[in-house]
Amino acid sequence: MRALIAGSGPTGLILGAALARRGHQVTSVDRDPGPTGDAWIRRGVMQFEHAHGFRPQVPMTLQAEWPAALNTWRKLGAHPVEAPNPAGSRQVVGVLSRRSTFERALRHAAEQQAGLTLRTGHVDGLVVDRGQVTGVRIDGSLVEADLVVDASGRSGRLGRSSAPDSGPDLDGDCGLAYVDRTYRLRPGAEPGPMVSPIAYMADFDGYQCLVFLHEAGHFSVVLVRPTADTALKALRFEAAFETACRAIPALAEWTHPDRAQPTSAVLVGGALRNVYRRQVGTPGLVAVGDSVATTTPTRGRGIAMACMQVIALLGLLDAGSDPATIAEPFGAWCDHHIEPWVADHIAIDGGMVRRWQGDDLDLSRPLTTDLIAAAVEADPRIGQHAGGYFAMTALPETLRPAEPLARAVYQAGWRPAYAPGPTRDELVDAIRVAVPAA
């Protein structure tokens, strides 16, 4: 089969390499020519420089489908983290790496992959003959293919109408905005406080903080606020960001100048949406990765969801599905296994923003999964339902049976405690002193 993949991001390259390893003739096209030495400006892929956490689905997919890329990633410093599982053995729970290191590893391995051709160019649109996609136009020239894969990311629109009423099937503004900054631990310095083997994550009264540990002592500090909270927008200024880091005890430990030094400016995250798009349905075309679904980044689900999709698509092809009509069974799989994560995020984000703005829980409505899971602290029986949800090995609905337990906890007046640190109002006062004009 001749496969043409639009987009050489993580999804395009992992799928492309896996198809090439099965003997298919694969071309992956990206408008981005790739790195030149240390420099790599990923125009249109703003997340390239932003904090990333890597769930176990990512190394597991590479191990199964493209071990050379996993080896390259490790050689570039990526560090898989293991932890004990309930059965008493150890398992990988994540990988410490910067996103840029991950993409460099994939690009490097792709250049070596037999059967996979990397091409630089802009995919302008599809070529359709009698209702079937037969290729694409790249910078004006025609390239034929038996299967065209749209792996062009969150702005991917291949084959989709631009009519105003033809938007995504699910679409919710996260209501959250964030800024982050990268640092590196000084030689010999230990990481600061963690709440999991790969990250620190805490909710405060009106905002949220995350720290992702990456490879070789690199780490990212992320501050998340409701988009509507314009006073906290000032966190994009370096003086305000650093003031916040001094004021929040856990961040003060992580970023203390004796422990770490900044390696980037403060990076402002772009608009974030929870989006799910069904397959277009034109034979010869299939969409995968972020062009199908995007979710709020704070739970680090994006690349894991892309990997899950790649594995599902390959499974269908391996089982003999016709590539020309593969979007049909694959779309049904995505509707069942991917859409619920987007719907979950829309519900979680909406509730979180309302609570940050001072509302109490609305116990007349179904509890969102984050609230059900949080109540495990008050009722450990909830834990037996939560493991698969946290690991993304079971769908959000698997937490539903624990809802009555969680509801009882909240009805008795229990609420998740905020982490020790300034309230939103105190943080605003502190950063106003640092950046009076903001």
Ligand X SMILES: Cc1cc2nc3c(=O)[nH]c(=O)nc-3n(C[C@H](O)[C@H](O)[C@H](O)COP(=O)(O)OP(=O)(O)OC[C@H]3O[C@@H](n4cnc5c(N)ncnc54)[C@H](O)[C@@H]3O)c2cc1C
Binding site for ligand X (CB under 6 A): 6-12, 29-32, 44-45, 47, 50, 52-53, 122-123, 151-154, 269, 289-290, 297, 300-304, 306
Residue nearest to ligand X (CB): 9
| Strand spans (E) along 174-312 | 176-185, 199-204, 207-213, 218-226, 260-262, 267-268, 273-276, 285-287, 293-294
Closest CA to 250 of 202, 205, 216: 202
Nearest approach in angstroms of CB 138 to ligand X is 8
- Residue 70 vs 304, nearer CB to ligand X: 304
Start-end of H helices in 256-396:
302-318, 327-337, 339-356, 369-374, 383-391
Residues in the chain: 438
Minimal distance, residue 339 CB to ligand X, in Å: 15
Distance in angstroms (rounded) separating the CA atoms of residues 213 and 97: 8
Is the Cβ of residue 57 or residue 72 nearer to ligand X in the bound state? 57
34 Cβ contact partners less than 8 Å away, ≥ 6 residues apart = 8, 40, 107, 118, 120
Burial of residue 391 (CB within 10 Å: 0-12, 13-18, 19+) is middle
C-beta of 363: minimal distance to ligand X in Å?
A: 32
Q: How far is the CB of 196 from ligand X (least distance, A)?
A: 13
Tokens 């230990």, residue?
190
Nearer Cβ to ligand X, position 181 or 385?
181
Cβ distance to ligand X smaller for residue 126 or 372: 126
Q: Would you say 176 and 206 are in contact if contact means Cβ atoms under 8 Å apart?
A: no
As measured in angstroms, the least distance from the Cβ of 360 to ligand X is 30
Nearer to ligand X, 2 or 432 (CB): 2
* 8-state DSSP, 300: -
- CB nearer ligand X, residue 148 or residue 402: 148
Which is nearer to ligand X, 125 or 401 (by Cβ)? Answer: 125
Residue placing its CB nearer to ligand X in the complex, 160 or 432: 160
Rounded to a whole number of angstroms, the minimum distance from the CB of residue 184 to ligand X is 18
In the complex, least distance from residue 122 CB atom to ligand X, rounded to whole angstroms: 5
Q: Rounded CA gap, 7 and 118, in Å?
A: 10
For the chain, give the longest Cα–Cα distance.
66
Q: Among residues 60 and 189, whose Cβ is nearest to ligand X? A: 60
Task: Supply 77's token pair.
Answer: 């410093």
Q: How far is CA 185 from CA 105, 216, 229, 255, 265, in A?
A: 23, 8, 31, 8, 16
Q: Determine the number of helices (DSSP H) and then strands (DSSP E) in the chain.
A: 13, 19
* Shortest distance, position 117 Cβ to ligand X, whole Å: 14
What whole-number distance in Å separates Cα of residue 79 and Cα of residue 73? Answer: 9
Inter-residue contact 7 to 28 (CB < 8 Å): yes
Give min distance, CB of 394 to ligand X, in A. 18
Q: Which of 298, 391, 273, 346 is nearest to 51 (CA)?
A: 298
